[in-house]
Structure 1
Amino acid sequence: MTDLNDIAVFVKVAQFGSFTQAARALSMPVSTVSRKVTSLEDQLGITLIQRTTRKLSLTAQGRAYYDQCSEPLSRLVDAENALTQTQRKPEGLLKVSVPVTLGQEPFYAFLSTFLRKYPGIHVDLFITNLFVDLIAENVDVAIRFGELSDSTLVAKRIGRSVRYLVASPEYLKGRLAPAKPEDLASHQCILLNGRNNEVEWHLVNGRKSVKLRVAGPVSSRDFQSVSAFTYRGHGIGLLPSGYCEEQIRRRELVRILPEWSSPEILVHTVYPTRRFVPSKLQVFLEQLSEWETPLWLPLR
C-alpha cells in the first residue's frame, strides 16, 4: 500500500505547482519533498509529474491521481482538526451579522454575558438589514428573520416573531380607535419601507387574513425609528413584540385590535456549511439557543 505521507506531499506539490512552495508550506526541505514524490511514483509505477528546469506539470495520470486523492485527503485533515477542536478552548475572532432590529440593549446584554463567559473569543459585529454573503465576507454566523432563500448555508430555527398594532395614548386621545382592520385606512400609520408614504400590511386573526393599504406621515427603514415615532404619538405602528410589550405593560403604548397581528416570522441562525463547527461558533450557538430573549418568542 502506498505511503499516505507521500500522497499528501504529492497533493501539496500539485496544488502549488512548485516543489519549493510545497516544501515551504510543509516545513520540510525541498529535497525531501522531491524524494517523497519520486518514491510515490516508484510505488505506483507511473510518472505523476513532468519536471523541467523551468517548471513542472502534472501528467494525465498525475492529474487523474490528484483528482482521486485530494478530496479524501481533505476529509482526513478535517477529521483530525475536529478531534483537536474538541479539546481546544473556544477562542479567536467570531464574526456575527444581525439585523438592525437586534441592535438594542437585550442583545447587547446577551453578547456582554457571552464575552465574559468566553474571554478568549472576540466578536466582530455587523448590524445591517442587508443579507451579507457569509462566505465572501468570511462571516461565521448570522441571525435572520423571515423566509430564507435556498442556499448551501446551514439554517437552525431559534424562535419566532410577531408584530402588534400599537399607538400611544397621546395619538388616541380624541380619536376613535379602529374596531376592525379596515378602519386603519382612516388613521395615520408609521410605515416600514413605505413607498410614497404607503405600504401594505398583512394581518391575521386565527384563520382570518387581510391585506390592506395604509398611509402615514413617516416612513422609515428600521423598527427603531418606527417605534420612536409611534411612541411620540405620530400614528399607529406595526411593531415586533420585542419593541412594544414592555411599553404596553407600562401603558405607554396601547395595543390596537389585539386579536390581530402580523403572520409569524421565523428566526434562524445561519452559518456556512461545514463538516465540523469551530468551537467558538459552537458555544455561541449553544448560548443563543438557551437565551430567554424578549426580542423573539420561543418555538412552539
Structure 2
Amino acid sequence: MPRHVPGPGQLRIADLEAFCAVAERLSYVAAARGTGMSPSGVTRAVQAVEAAMGHELLTRSHRNVSLTPAGEAYYDLARAALRQLADAGQVLARSASELQGLVRFSAPSVLESRILPAALAALSVSHPGLRVDVTYTDVHLDPAQAGLDFAIRGAYPADSELIGQTLWRYERYLCAAPAYVAHHGLPATPEDLAGHRFVLHTGPRQLRSWYLYDGRQSLRIPLGVSHRVTSGSGLVELLLAGVGIGRLASWVAQPLIEQGRLVRLCPHHTVVSRTGTLMEMHAVYHGRLSTPSRSVIAAIRKAWEQHGGPFVAPRRQRR
C-alpha cells in the first residue's frame, strides 16, 4: 500500500498513525511503543501533521498531553481515513487472491456425472468470481480451433503439437451387466469372448480390435460389433441395460462393479493399446495456460484424488 496520501504537505500515513496513537494514549512514549517508532520520530510526525494542517493539534506540558479543540476534530477525521485505507487494502488483497473471468474447456461425456461436478463445486466456493463454459464431447477437439483454453481427453496419449498435462492414469476393463451374463454366459478368458455381442465407443476413434493383456502377453481380439455409440456416457447406459460387452475406464467401471450393476469379464486381463501404452486422462492446450485455467486443472486433479482414485503426478510433454 502506498505510504503517502494526498493532502497538505503530502502527509505520510505513518504521520497520521503516529498522531492518532498519541491522541489515543495521550503519551508520546506510549505512542512510540505502539507504533514501533522512536519517541523523537513520533514527535516529528505530529509536528508534520500540525504544520500541514496549520493548527496546533496537541498541547504538551511537562507531564500531560491533551488534544486541542482542533485536534479533537482532526482526530476523528484522521482515524476514519486510516480505517478506510486499511479496508481498501483488505479489499485489494482479497481481490488479488480471488480468480476472475471465464475458462472455456471441453471434457469427455463420462465426466458429466463423475469427478468434474465435484471439482466445479469446490471452485464455485473458493473462487466465486470464476466462471466456466464446458463443452462435453468425446471428439478430440483442437483447443485453438474450438475457441477453448484447454481440452480434456481420455484414452491413449496421442502425438501432436499440443502441450499436455496428465491428470490421472488408469486401466480399462471389459464389463457387462448381470442380466447379459445371466443370458449369454460369463466370459472368463479372451477365448470365451467369441460369439458375444460387443458395444463400441466410437467418439474418439473407431477400432477393429481390442488387445487384452494379462501381465505377460497381449492378445488381439477382433471385434464383431453389434452396436456403436459416440459417447462414453451412452456406452455406460447401454452396458447397464444389458445390450452387450464393452470396455470401460477402471475409474468408471469399478464403482458400478462394487454396486453390483456391472460384472467384470476376463478379470485377469486389462484392455491396452496395440503397443501396450498406459491410458491416461490429460489436458491439452496451446502455449501458456492462464492462472484461472491452471486453477481449474488443479481442482480437477484434486477432485480425482478425493473422489476418483489415487493422485498421479502430472507429466508435461509434447504431444
What's the TM-score once normalised by structure 2's chain length?
0.59
Corresponding position: 1:103 with 2:112: yes
Corresponding position: 1:268 with 2:282: yes
Q: Who is 2:153 aligned against? A: 144
3-state SS of paired residue (1:280)? helix
Distance 2:222 2:306 in 1: 32
Select the residue among 224, 227, 231 that pairs with 1:218: 227
Q: Who is 2:290 aligned against? A: 278
Which runs of structure 2 are paired with 1:68-83 in the superposition (5 Å)? Answer: none
Q: Who is 1:242 aligned against? A: 251
Distance 1:109 1:228 in 2: 21
Q: Who is 1:299 aligned against? A: 312
Higher Cα Rg: structure 1 or 2?
2
Corresponding position: 1:233 with 2:221: no
Distance 1:247 1:187 in 2: 21
- Offset from partner CA, 1:189-228 (integer Å, 9 cap, x none): 222229xx98411211113101111224321112222221
Which runs of structure 2 are paired with 1:78-97 in the superposition (5 Å)? Answer: 87=96, 89-97=98-106
Deviation at 1:167, TM superposition (A): 1.6
Shift >6 Å, 4+ stretches: none
Could you tell me which runs of 5 or more consecutive residues in structure 2 were left unpaired when the two chains were aligned.
1-94, 273-277, 314-319
Change (3 A) 1:225 1:283: closer
Distance 2:307 2:96 in 1: 34
Deviation at 1:260, TM superposition (A): 0.7
Counterpart AA for 2:158: L
3-state SS of paired residue (2:248)? strand
Deviation at 1:87, TM superposition (A): 4.5
Distance 2:207 2:302 in 1: 39
Q: Who is 1:118 aligned against? A: 127
Distance 2:174 2:270 in 1: 7
Q: Who is 1:170 aligned against? A: 179
Counterpart AA for 1:150: S
| Count of residue pairs brought into register by the alignment | 211
Contact 2:253 2:262 in 1 (8 A): yes
Contact 1:156 1:268 in 2 (8 A): yes
- Offset from partner CA, 1:253-288 (integer Å, 9 cap, x none): 1111111111231221222212xx432123223222
Q: Who is 2:299 aligned against? A: 287
Change (3 A) 1:132 1:219: closer
3-state SS of paired residue (1:229)? helix
- Identical columns (%): 27
Deviation at 1:159, TM superposition (A): 0.8
Q: Who is 1:51 aligned against? A: none
Q: Cα RMSD between the aligned structures?
A: 2.7
Contact 2:301 2:311 in 1 (8 A): no
Could you tell me which runs of 5 or more consecutive residues in structure 1 were left unpaired when the two chains were aligned.
1-85
Change (3 A) 1:238 1:116: same
- Offset from partner CA, 1:53-89 (integer Å, 9 cap, x none): xxxxxxxxxxxxxxxxxxxxxxxxxxxxxxxxx9563
Change (3 A) 1:219 1:297: farther
Which runs of structure 2 are paired with 1:13-52 in the superposition (5 Å)? Answer: none
